[in-house]
Structure 1
């Protein structure tokens, strides 16, 4: 198996990208990251963004693309535009980063969400890309004795839905990241490396309490292709935190 590539979810640097999107991507490459995951494109033409990635020799496997859950009748046409852009950019995966569920979800809520994800997955797959879902902690609530995330991955075929496990949120959901990576080995091409310190405050990768090292040890055999750093809160600056997180992977021979 090929060693996973280390990338950065650009949402981490949202305070920078909103001021200088392309310049921030250059800084990511200068740090030593070899891939990026998008969370919006700031109206940049795909051809221009593709040219920059080629120049910097940066891989761009994926993008977070929200579905229009508030207007379900528009999901198909909105997603079509995202697919067209992603194909021109050369992405492999379109990932839904979040989905709405009630505070106390029922199996009907789960079935409804599974149906939406399956339809999106079919649309993305038929266009030649892969479709994934990125979890938080609420997908580990039990519905009829089983975590919601397991229901979703059971109800939607692997052909139409892969998992982008956010390892920090798996931990915050009361589960072991290694257990979920092993359970869905072969279906987890992308993994978000998020670490948590005190409470619900996240921190640089390797500085918190999440067993991320354990995932490094099993990643290749489980088929993970990309480790993607994501962080939302910072003691100093987002750029400094991104540099510190990359050091975790360097220490363990992955960057």
Structure 2
């Protein structure tokens, strides 16, 4: 086992990437991050992106790629195009960042979503990659006495679905992040570190109330290989916040 690699989910810098995608990736490497997770490719040719990652020595194991839930008949064809691009730039994981669930989900809603995720997972696996799902807090609503997230991980075989727990949202969903890291050890190669301050306002990693240090302490034994910082709201700027979050990992001997 080795310590997880610390990376940045590029959605954090969306105000930068939409104007200068490749230049922003260069800044992330200069800050000291060792990996990136994509949230869109901005029509960048795969060869250009791969060349930059190689030049910077930056790992890029995964990308957030949404499924076309609005037009289910197009999911397979749309995903096939994304898989092709992912393979060209050398990704290992394709992660669905969100799925629609009603405010008060039923077991039928959960089963329907599980079927969609299973089909996507099979398609991704057949292409030689691994498929995952990234949670928010609503997946911890209870259905038949159990959190939706746990039901999905029960219903979709592990070979077709890994968890990419966002531990900030696990906390906001009323659950214990360390407990979830331990419970799904071995099925959790990717993780998001998001911290929350007041209410639903997120903040830099280590500056809020989420027990991310506790997750860090069990990260190796849980099999977490990559930790991605993600933040959506900023006091000064997205770039400044990304730098501040990195200090949490330096203080804990990760860089």
> TM > 0.5 between the two?
yes
- Please report the TM-score for the alignment, with normalisation by the length of structure 2: 1.00
Structure 1, residues 149-174: CA drift from partner, whole Å, max 9, x if none? 00000000000000000000000000
Q: CA deviation at 1:68?
A: 0.1
Distance 1:93 1:146 in 2: 27
Q: What's the counterpart of residue 164 of structure 1?
A: 164
SS at match of 1:132: strand
Q: What's the counterpart of residue 138 of structure 1?
A: 138
Gaps of 5+ in 1: none
Structure 1, residues 215-238: CA drift from partner, whole Å, max 9, x if none? 111000110000100000000000
- Please report the TM-score for the alignment, with normalisation by the length of structure 1: 1.00
Q: CA deviation at 1:2?
A: 1.4
How many residues are aligned here?
255
Distance 1:95 1:105 in 2: 22
Structure 1, residues 109-142: CA drift from partner, whole Å, max 9, x if none? 0000000000000000010000000000000000
Matches within 5 A, 1:21-60: 21-60=21-60
Q: CA deviation at 1:3?
A: 1.2
Q: What's the counterpart of residue 74 of structure 2?
A: 74
Structure 1, residues 68-116: CA drift from partner, whole Å, max 9, x if none? 0000000000000000000000000000000000010000000000000
Distance 1:61 1:103 in 2: 33
Calculate the aligned-residue CA RMSD, in Å.
0.3
Distance 1:101 1:222 in 2: 28
Matches within 5 A, 1:81-120: 81-120=81-120
Distance 1:183 1:120 in 2: 24
Q: CA deviation at 1:8?
A: 0.1
Gaps of 5+ in 2: none
SS at match of 2:116: helix
Distance 1:244 1:73 in 2: 43
SS at match of 1:191: strand
Please list every run of at least 4 consecutive aligned residues from structure 1 whose deviation after the TM superposition is greater than 3 angstroms. Answer: none
Distance 2:243 2:89 in 1: 26
